[in-house]
Amino acid sequence: MSKRDYYEVLGVEKTADEKDIKKAYRRVAMKYHPDRNPDDPDADEKFKEATEAYDVLMNAEKRAAYDRFGHSGVDPSMGGGGFGAGGGSFSDIFGDVFGDIFGGGGGRGRGGPQRGSDLRYTLDISLEDAVKGTTVEIKVPTLATCDECDGSGARKGSAPVSCTTCGGIGQVRMQQGFFQVQQTCPTCRGRGKMISDPCGKCHGQGRVEKRKTLSVKVPPGVDTGDRIRLSGEGEAGPDGGPPGDLFVQMSVRQHPIFERDGKNLYCEVPITFVDAALGGELEVPTLDGRVKLKIPAETQTGKLFRLRGKGVKPVRGGAVGDLLCRAVVETPVNLNKKQKELLREFQDSLGQGGDAQSPRQTSWFEGVKAFFDDMKP
C-alpha cells in the first residue's frame, strides 16, 4: 500500500516550521493514541504513521531528502535515512512533544532547585497617599529558608542522599505497552533526594513559616489594580532554591469628598440658590488645600467648574489631571414663617415674566404639552 504524504498526515503546509509541525503532531497523536482508542484497529497504524511523519519532517536532512525525492528519499531500502535510522527512538519523540504534559522529555534529568512561589499582598491605602505617594510597612506571612539547615532539610552534620528509586532524577519511567511515560518519583516526590536524618526545626522541609516586615515605597499616582513588584520577597524555593517575588497590589479606599477617574478628580459643591442666582465666591477643597471658586450668576445644578492641575499626576508619566467641581444648587430647608412669606412674595414678583427667569422649566412644560397634543386623535 502506498504511503500518504507526510504533510497530509499531519495536516500542515509544506512551508510549516518546526513549531507548527510539533503542534500538529501533538494533535494527531493525541487523537489516535492506542490507549485512547482500544476498540479502533486502525488507530495504532494512524498513530505510527503520524510519528513516522513527525520524525522525518523534524529532521532537517530527512525533510530535505523527502521534499526532493519523496518517500524514496527516506526509505532505508533505497539508501535513505528511513524512519528510526539515526533519528532517535519513538520514546525520544514522545518525550520531546509531550514532555510538558507527562513530566519531562525522555532522557532529560531533573533540573536544579525549584524557584519559590510568588506571593500577592493587597495594600489598602487612602486617596491622598495614592496621589502623593508614601512609604508603608507591611507584614507578610511566607515560607523562608530554614536557617538551621540552610534549606537542605537535613540535620546539621548530615546531608541528603540521592533517591534510591529514581537515582536522583526525581522521575521514574513506567512502561505502558510500547509506550513510556515519565511520572514523579513516589519515593522522593520529585526532589531526587532522600533525608534520613531530618532537621529538627523544619522537619526535613528546608523551609519554615515566617512573618516578615517589609518597607514598600508607593510612587505618586498609583491607582486601584496597580502592582509593585518586590523581587526575591516571595516564598523561598524548596531544596534551597531561589525565592519568588512579592506583588503588592494597590486598593485605594473610597474618599468622602473626591472621586477619581484616571488622572482627574471630581467632587460636588453645594451652593445656595441665592449664590446660584446672583453669583458669589466659595472655598472648595483640593488635595493641596483650599482654593477660591468664583460662582457666576445664574449657575444651574450640574455645571462643572474645572480647576486645572489640581488632579493626579499619572504614575506612568504625563500631564497632571484636573479637579472638576460639580455645582449642586441646594434647596433651603426648615424655613420659618417669615422666610416662607418672603419666598412667596418673590414668586409673586416674577408674575407673568416668570418664564424668562425659568427657561428650562418653561421649555420642559412646552415639551410635555407638545407630547400630549401629538397623542390626540
CATH number of the domain that 296 lies in? 2.60.260.20
Domain of 59: which CATH number? 1.10.287.110
Closest CA to 217 of 129, 307, 309, 285: 129
Q: Which residue has the higher pLDDT, 92 or 304?
A: 304
- pLDDT (tens digit per residue) in 192-230: 788 888 888 888 888 888 899 999 999 999 999 999 999
Considering the domain boundaries, does residue 28 fall inside one?
A: yes
For residues 274-285, one letter each, b for 16 or more C-beta atoms within 10 angstroms of the residue's C-beta and e for the rest, the string is ebbeeebebebe
- What is the band of 82 on the pLDDT scale with cuts at 50, 70, 90? very low
Same domain, 309 and 352: no
Predicted pLDDT of residue 30: 79
Q: What integer is the mean pLDDT of 272-284?
A: 91
Within 10 Å of residue 220's Cβ, how many Cβ atoms?
A: 14
Q: Which residues constitute the domain of residue 290?
A: 259-330
Where is average pLDDT lowest: 97-101, 186-190, 243-247, 261-265? Answer: 97-101
Predicted pLDDT of residue 95: 47
CA 1 to chain centre: 53
Distance CA 181, CA 105 (A): 9
- pLDDT (tens digit per residue) in 121-158: 999 999 999 999 999 999 999 888 888 888 888 888 88
* Residue 338 pLDDT greater than 90, yes or no: yes
- What is the band of 72 on the pLDDT scale with cuts at 50, 70, 90? confident
Within 10 Å of residue 360's Cβ, how many Cβ atoms?
A: 8
3-state secondary structure of 261: strand
Q: Which residue has the higher pLDDT, 97 or 22?
A: 22
Residue 275 makes CB contacts below 8 A (sequence gap 6+) with 282, 295, 299
Distance CA 44, CA 253 (A): 62
Distances (CA, A) of 356 to 281, 350, 351, 360: 25, 9, 10, 9
Q: What integer is the mean pLDDT of 47-75?
A: 83
Q: Are 248 and 267 in contact (CB under 8 A)?
A: no
H or E element at residue 325: strand 323-330
Considering the domain boundaries, does residue 50 fall inside one?
A: yes
The grid coordinates listed for 190 are 520529585
Same domain, 270 and 312: yes
Same domain, 282 and 358: no
Q: What integer is the mean pLDDT of 350-373?
A: 67
Considering the domain boundaries, does residue 97 fall inside one?
A: yes
Distance CA 254, CA 260 (A): 9
Considering the domain boundaries, does residue 295 fall inside one?
A: yes
Same domain, 319 and 341: no
Distance CA 149, CA 155 (A): 6
Domain count, the chain: 3
Same domain, 265 and 322: yes
Same domain, 353 and 279: no
Strand 264-272 and strand 323-330: the pairing is parallel
Considering the domain boundaries, does residue 165 fall inside one?
A: no
Distance CA 83, CA 93 (A): 12
Distance CA 238, CA 231 (A): 17
Q: What integer is the mean pLDDT of 61-66?
A: 85
Looking up cell 416668570, which residue turns up? Answer: 354
Distance CA 299, CA 279 (A): 7
Last residue of a domain, one of 102, 120, 154: 102
Same domain, 324 and 348: no
Beta bridge partners of 295: 280
Distance CA 74, CA 76 (A): 6
pTM above 0.75, yes or no: no
Same domain, 26 and 50: yes
Predicted pLDDT of residue 1: 53
* Residue 105 pLDDT greater than 90, yes or no: no
Name the strands in the sheet holding 246-252, side by side, starting at the edge strand that comes first in the sequence.
119-125, 246-252, 227-230
- What is the band of 329 on the pLDDT scale with cuts at 50, 70, 90? very high
Q: Classify residue 128 by burial, with Cβ atoms within 10 Å: 0-12, 13-18, 19+.
A: middle
Predicted pLDDT of residue 291: 93
Provide the mean pLDDT of the chain: 82
3-state secondary structure of 273: helix
Q: Are 51 and 57 in contact (CB under 8 A)?
A: no
Same domain, 286 and 348: no
Same domain, 300 and 358: no
Half-sphere exposure at residue 100, Cβ-oriented, CA atoms within 13 angstroms: 4
Same domain, 291 and 350: no
What residue type is 286 in one-letter code? T
Considering the domain boundaries, does residue 157 fall inside one?
A: no
